[in-house]
């Protein structure tokens, strides 16, 4: 662990799982900016960026030998690592956290998890509801950052948004807003709350492509592949089967009209409007820009 100086016992110790990922990394960054002492748990500590106020520990939800990283922790951010088994890799970790004195768990879930009971997120929610722990569910809509992350090269190299969402609408949310709500919940000790987190608008993917076109100054097309073509092409491009099917399930929700619900939760918790897709695109413009060799 990288120790920090000062009195670390004046407030509950917060643990952030997945601090090298999208949401966990943003939570860690925002906690650091507030001057909070906290602990991060990652599989490869050497890859975790150093942050003021952070202890960096090795932690793997599927490896009980790493659970010592939870000693002394009172509040914890948890996510389901996609492709892992909830019963094998997540619930035992939560039980270990409870036995070590963790009192609050802030869990990254998905919008509509309470109605889509087959998703692994709902199984985690149900365990937490019955656990006696203080719980907060971050039921987040589709992340804008997926466009700059897993789908980055579709936009950057192929000038397309390649998703099987049909003409359905999605209430995109910026990871920075989700993390800000998580930080508020962790620092203030929220309990028994399910936060449905969306942006201010529900957009279809033609509108997403149009917004990217304006930002990048070149035409980005929404190609709207069939579900079968999406999975086939994703596998050809090296995506793992489990993750390709997980994405298909997410975009099917949009295709059938179940991903467009808009809430005011971000506004109510943070006291400001959610970050817009246009602002997100401007902020991340560089990740979709082509090198000179890719434009010739």
State residue 4's pLDDT score. 41
Domain boundary assignment for the chain: 14-140, 142-174+198-260+273-285
Specify the higher pLDDT residue, 290 or 131: 131
pLDDT digits (tens, 9 = 90+) for 35-73: 999 999 999 999 888 999 999 999 999 999 999 999 999
pLDDT digits (tens, 9 = 90+) for 151-165: 999 999 999 999 999
Q: Helices 91-99 and 120-129 meet at what angle, rounded to 10?
A: 20
Q: Domain 142-174+198-260+273-285 is classified in which CATH homologous superfamily?
A: UDP-galactose 4-epimerase, domain 1 (3.90.25.10)
State residue 7's pLDDT score. 41
Reply yes or no on whether the pLDDT at 296 is more than 60: no
Rounded Cα gap, residues 245 and 225, in angstroms: 14
Reply yes or no on whether the pLDDT at 9 is more than 60: no
Q: Domain 14-140 is classified in which CATH homologous superfamily?
A: NAD(P)-binding Rossmann-like Domain (3.40.50.720)
Reply yes or no on whether the pLDDT at 293 is more than 70: no
Average pLDDT, integer, range 229-239: 96
């Amino acid at each position: 662990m990288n120790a920090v100086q000062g009195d670390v016992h004046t407030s509950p110790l917060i643990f952030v799982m997945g601090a090298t990922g999208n949401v966990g990394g943003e939570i860690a960054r925002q906690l650091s900016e507030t001057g909070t002492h906290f602990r991060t748990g990652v599989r490869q500590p050497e890859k975790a960026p150093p942050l003021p106020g952070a202890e960096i520990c090795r932690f793997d939800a599927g490896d009980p030998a790493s659970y010592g990283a939870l000693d002394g922790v009172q509040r914890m951010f948890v996510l389901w690592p996609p492709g892992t088994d909830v019963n094998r890799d997540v619930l035992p970790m939560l039980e270990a956290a409870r036995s070590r004195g963790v009192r609050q768990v802030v869990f990254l879930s998905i919008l509509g998890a309470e109605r889509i009971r087959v998703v692994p997120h709902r199984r985690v929610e149900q365990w937490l509801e019955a656990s006696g722990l203080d719980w907060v569910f971050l039921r987040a809509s589709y992340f804008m950052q997926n466009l700059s992350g897993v789908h980055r090269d579709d936009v950057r190299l192929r000038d397309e948004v390649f998703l099987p969402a049909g003409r359905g609408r999605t209430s995109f949310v910026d990871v920075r807003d989700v993390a800000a709500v998580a930080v508020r919940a962790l620092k203030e000790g929220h309990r028994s709350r399910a936060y449905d987190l969306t942006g201010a608008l529900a957009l279809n993917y033609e509108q997403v492509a149009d917004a990217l076109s304006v930002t990048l100054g070149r035409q980005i097309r929404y190609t709207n592949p069939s579900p079968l073509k999406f999975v086939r092409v994703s596998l050809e491009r090296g995506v793992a089967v489990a993750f390709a099917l997980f994405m298909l399930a997410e975009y099917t929700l949009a295709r059938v009209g179940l991903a467009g619900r808009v809430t005011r939760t971000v506004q109510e918790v943070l006291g400001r409007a959610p970050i817009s897709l246009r602002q997100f695109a401007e902020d991340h413009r560089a990740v979709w820009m082509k090198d000179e060799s890719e434009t010739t």
